[in-house]
Amino acid sequence: MCMMNEEEKNRRAAEKWEGAEAMKKESVVKAALLGLGTVGSGVYKLVERQKEQLPAKTGMQLEIAKILVHDMKKERPGVRRELLTDSFEEILKDSDIQIVIEVVGGIEPAKRMIMDALKAGKNVVTANKDLIAAHGRELLNTAEEHHVDLLFEASVAGGIPIINPLKECLAGNEILSVMGIVNGTTNYILTKMTEEGMDFDEALKRAQELGYAEADPTSDIEGHDAGRKVAILASIAFHSKVTFKDVYVEGITRITSRDIAYAEEFGNVIKLLGIARNEGGEIEAAVYPMMLPKDHPLASVRDSFNAVFVQGDAVGDTMFYGRGAGELPTASAVMADVLRILRNIRCGCNGRIGCTCYRNLPMKPIEESQHKYYVRMLVENRPGVLAQITGTLAEQGVSIEKVVQKVFRDNKAEVVIITEKIQERYVKNALDEFRRSPVIYDISNILREY
Choose the binding region for a second copy from 260-268, 346-354, 371-379, 427-435 (rule: CB under 8 A): 346-354
Note whether 239 binds a second copy by CB under 8 A.
Answer: yes
One of 111, 277, 340, 448 touching a second copy (CB under 8 A): 340
End-to-end CA distance of the chain: 43
Sole window of 23-31, 81-89, 282-290, 322-330 interacting with a second copy (rule: CB under 8 A): 322-330
Segment near a second copy (CB under 8 A); pick from 211-219, 265-273, 325-333, 404-412: 325-333
* 314 close to 175: Cβ distance less than 8 angstroms: no
By CB under 8 A, residue 235 contacts a second copy? yes
User: Of the two residues 3 and 387, which places its CB atom closer to a second copy in the complex?
Assistant: 3
User: Is 264 within 8 Å of 404 (Cβ atoms)?
Assistant: no
Is 124 among the residues that bind a second copy (CB under 8 A)?
A: no
**27 or 141: CB nearest a second copy:** 141
**Residues between 253 and 312 that touch a second copy (CB under 8 A):** 295, 297, 300, 302, 305, 312
Residue among 50 and 257 whose Cβ is closer to a second copy:
50
Give long-range contacts, CB 8 A cutoff, 24+ apart: 51-55. Answer: 54/339, 54/342, 55/19, 55/20, 55/21, 55/23, 55/24
Lay out the site mask for a second copy across 46-85 (x = CB under 8 A, - = otherwise).
x--xx--x--xxx---------------------------
Can you say how many angstroms the Cα of residue 106 is from the centroid of all Cα atoms in its chain? 16
Under rule CB under 8 A, residue 135 binds a second copy: yes
CB nearer a second copy, residue 200 or residue 212: 212
- How far is 186 from 288, CA to CA, in rounded Å? 11
Told to judge if 372 belongs to the known catalytic residues of this protein, a careful annotator would answer no
138 binds a second copy (CB under 8 A): yes
Residue 2 in the binding site for a second copy (CB under 8 A): yes
Instruction: Confirm or reject binding of residue 11 to a second copy (CB under 8 A).
Output: no
CA dihedral 102, 104, 108, 112 (to 10 degrees): -20
Give the active site residue among 229, 241, 271, 364: 229
Q: Does 440 bind a second copy (CB under 8 A)?
A: no
- Binding span for a second copy by CB under 8 A among 280-288, 344-352, 377-385, 441-449: 344-352
Which amino acid, 92? L
Work out which of 24, 76, 119, 343 binds a second copy, going by CB under 8 A: 343
In the window 372-411, what residues touch a second copy (CB under 8 A)? Answer: none
Question: Which residues are catalytic, by number?
Answer: 229
